[in-house]
Amino acid sequence: MRIIAGAFKGRRLASPRKATIRPTLDRVKEAYFRIVHTQVQGANFLDLCSGSGNIGLEALSRGAQQVAFVDQNRQSIRLIKTNLQKCGLTSQDQRIQLFPADVKRSLTAFSRSQVQFHLIYFDPPYTSDLYLECLTQITETTVLTKRGIICIEHNQSGFPQHIGSLRLTKEKKYGDTNLSFYQMEV
């Protein structure tokens, strides 16, 4: 696992030792950032179910203004801190917010404090029931900006065309991994 482009290009990141964390493959990460590349610079980015922090660190490397990492797994939080250090950063950096918390609680907290994100990358465990619950929660808040994009990484097909006010705009498949892109209907 490595940073592909930007300020931290080429930095090798620590990989999880246990199978409970499934990092996004470099080819999937590269494809994602190829699709959203014009929106990353200066963006407020949310890495939801961060795992190793791989996606959020890539966003920061490519010019995201701020990145929030959310994961409730203690091993993931330690791994994110290790990977921040590998990029010469700490969790005290003003561009970084680290939330060792449940996804739904974090979304509620962001909504209450009126924090908005331009880009959200959502990668819960593939067997999780969080997908539709969290996407519905996002549509009921202002966590995603009006022109913001949420990308869901998953291994199943058949995600709905609409989830509340979110509309499916693009789907890509990379082996067993699917990326589904949603935007708010304006």
Please give the pLDDT value at position 18: 67
| Per-chain mean pLDDT for the chain | 92
What's the mean pLDDT in 44-60? 96
> Measuring CA to CA, which residue among 89, 105, 108 is closest to residue 97?
89
What's the mean pLDDT in 133-154? 93
What's the mean pLDDT in 157-185? 90
Please answer whether residues 153 and 178 qualify as being in contact, where contact means their C-beta atoms are separated by less than 8 angstroms: yes
98 φ, ψ (degrees, to nearest 5): -115, 120
What is the spatial distance between Cα 172 and Cα 130, in angstroms, rounded to a whole number? 20
**Position 20 pLDDT exceeds 90:** no
The model's pLDDT over 81-139, given as tens digits with 9 standing for 90+, comes to 999 999 999 888 999 999 999 999 999 999 999 999 999 999 988 878 888 889 999 99
Distances (CA, A) of 89 to 10, 19, 118: 15, 26, 22
Core vs surface per residue 39-64: b (16+ CB within 10 A) or e: bbeebbbbbbbbbbbbbbbbbbbbeb
Please give the pLDDT value at position 81: 96
What is the spatial distance between Cα 76 and Cα 82, in angstroms, rounded to a whole number? 10
Considering the segment(s) 26-184 as one domain, its CATH architecture is: 3-Layer(aba) Sandwich (3.40)
The mean-pLDDT minimum among 18-27, 50-59, 174-183 falls in: 18-27
Position with higher pLDDT, 127 vs 61: 61
pLDDT over 70 for what percent of the chain? 98
